[in-house]
Amino acid sequence: MLAIKTYNNDLNIFRRTMRLMGNRFEISVVGNDPVWADNCIDSAVAEIGRVEKLLSAFSDDSQINAINRNAGIKPVKVNAEIYRIIERSLKISELTHGTFDITYSATDKKIDVQKIERNSVRFTNYKLVIQDAEATTVFLKEKGMRIGFSAMSKGYAADRAKYILQMMGVGSGVVNAGGDLLTWGLQPNNDPWTIATADAGQENQPFSDINISNMAVATSGNFEKNATISNKKYLHNLDTKKGFPVSVLKSVSIVSPTAELSDAMATPIMMMGVNAGLYLINQLQQMACVIIDDHDRIYTSKEVNHLA
């Protein structure tokens, strides 16, 4: 069902909220025809469903499942889309020195200190993912290795939904993928889309508004989930190198041209800490970040000033 917000210039925001990929998605399009808007959103929802199936590691006919099943055995031929997603993932792993990594151990069925030390760290190594561009194959060198896309799948799905909407003539809209935002065009009143950035514990006191028109923003936060390890409570982000949770920062928000990139970069910057995280982001073009530490101190990259 569409929710409609009306403006005086005959343009409206048509909005639909639904649960997709285990997350709350909200798709908004700007236009003046509710039937057209409904059809556009239907197509975007169908594309998100396609991406979820594409990146699934559980379906029998999934290419990701085939890659994992043949780890340490043989390369698996994949389609161009899967190949490029993995290729981009490995580049992000290289950029973040392995802090972002789509590889993991097949035995990680629950959080356990000994298993983390013995298996997770051993098999979390993006350098053991071998791609052959000419044959479009992917090979995991170690038996017991797996790849998964939970750290970037909803971002990629948002990018694909935007692409479909633009192909259908949507000149302005927003895809909210579980709190990660992807926008393009302008609001009906010709103002840019903006987001108020603030400490999650002080939501009514934003420190600035950031222009995110034609950009994407994703947030990784230690305020959302907890894990219990050996009867001790830890915050939910795990350091893939050491195998233990990171609790120095409260949240990291990444602004970049694509939801996939923002989604993929948020947690690695969280793990790197303030100095290393800001240093990396400041070296990259068209990327900005806002970091809040566990003392509620706010740090911003140099590009934030251009967006505020």
CATH number at residue 113: 1.10.3980.10
Q: What is the mean pLDDT of residues 158-166?
A: 98
pLDDT at residue 225 above 90?
Answer: no
Cβ(21)–Cβ(157) below 8 Å: yes
For 3, list phi and psi in degrees, rounded to 5: -100, 135
Q: Is 28 contained in some domain?
A: no
- Domain with residue 263: its CATH number is 3.10.520.10
- Identify the pLDDT of residue 58: 85
In a domain, 70, yes or no: yes
Together in a domain, 209 and 114:
no
Q: Is 83 helix (H, G, I), strand (E, B) or coil?
A: helix
b vs e for 227-245, b when ≥16 Cβ sit within 10 Å of the residue's Cβ?
Answer: eeeeeeebbbbbebeebeb
What is the reported pLDDT for 130? 97
Our CA angle for 164, 136, 260, nearest 5°, is 40
Same domain, yes or no: 207 and 112: no
Query: Under 8 Å CB-to-CB from 230, ≥6 apart: which residues?
Result: 113
Nearest to 271 by CA among 151, 109, 159: 151
Give the pLDDT score at 57: 87
Whole-number Å distance between alpha carbons of 127 and 101: 10
Are 263 and 218 in contact, with CB atoms under 8 Å apart?
Answer: yes
pLDDT for the residue numbered 94:
96
| Final residue of a structural domain among 118, 147, 176 | 147
Alpha-helix residue ranges (DSSP H) falling in the chain: 34-54, 63-69, 80-95, 113-115, 121-123, 153-167, 259-272, 274-282, 304-307
Question: 293 in a domain, yes or no?
Answer: yes
CB contact at 8 A, 72 and 143: yes
Q: Which of 66-70, 156-160, 217-221 has the lowest mean pLDDT?
A: 217-221
**Amino acid 111: pLDDT:** 46
Q: Is residue 38 part of a domain?
A: no
Considering the domain architecture, whether residues 201 and 307 belong to the same structural domain is answered as: yes
Rounded to an integer, what distance in angstroms lies between the CA atom of residue 136 and that of residue 298? 44
* Per-residue model confidence (pLDDT) at position 229: 33
Q: How far is CA 228 from the centre of its chain?
A: 24
Asked if residue 208 and residue 268 are part of one domain, the reply reads yes
> What band does 60 get if pLDDT is binned at 50, 70 and 90?
confident
308 and 196 both lie in a single domain: yes
Instruction: Look at residues 129, 43, 152 and name the one whose alpha carbon lies nearest to residue 78.
Output: 129
pLDDT at residue 173, rounded to an integer: 96
Answer yes or no: is 269 within a domain: yes
Spatial distance between the Cα atoms of 173 and 257, rounded to a whole number of angstroms? 15
59 vs 280, which has greater pLDDT? 280
Q: How far apart are CA 20 and CA 39, in angstroms?
A: 17
Both 200 and 132 in one domain: the answer is no
Q: Tell me if 127 is assigned to some domain.
A: yes
pLDDT tens digits for range 112-158: 445 544 445 566 899 999 999 999 999 999 999 999 999 999 999 99
Indicate if 216 and 295 belong to the same structural domain: yes
252 CB-near residues (< 8 Å, 6+ apart)? 219, 220, 221, 266, 267, 269, 270, 277, 289, 290, 291, 292
Q: Which of 7-21, 166-180, 225-239, 294-308: highest mean pLDDT?
A: 166-180
Q: What is the pLDDT of residues 244-289, one digit of tens each?
A: 444 468 899 999 999 999 999 999 999 999 999 999 999 999 999 9
Of 99 and 116, more confident: 99
Query: For residues 236 and 271, is the Cβ–Cβ distance under 8 A?
Result: no
Q: Please report whether residue 220 resides in a domain.
A: yes
Higher per-residue confidence, 212 vs 98? 98
| Total domains present in the chain | 2
**304 plus 230 within the same structural domain:** yes
> Rounded CA gap, 174 and 259, in Å?
11
- Within this chain, do residues 126 and 224 fall inside the same structural domain, yes or no? no
Of 124, 147, 170, which residue constitutes the final position of a domain?
147
**In the prediction, which pLDDT does 124 show?**
80
Q: What is the mean pLDDT of residues 182-203?
A: 78
- 254, part of any domain: yes
Mean pLDDT of 196-203: 55
> Band of the pLDDT at 107, cuts 50, 70, 90?
low
Same domain, 202 and 119: no
Q: What is the DSSP letter of 245?
A: B
Confidence of residue 238 (pLDDT cuts 50, 70, 90): very low
Do 236 and 131 belong together in one domain?
no
Reply yes or no on whether the pLDDT at 203 is more than 80: no
Q: Is the pLDDT of residue 243 over 50?
A: no
Q: Which of 147, 162, 180 is the last residue of a domain?
A: 147
Find the domain containing 275 and state its range: 192-308
Q: Which two tokens stand for residue 99?
A: 């802090």
If pLDDT is split at 50, 70 and 90, which confidence band does 296 have? Answer: confident
Same domain (yes/no): 233, 140: no
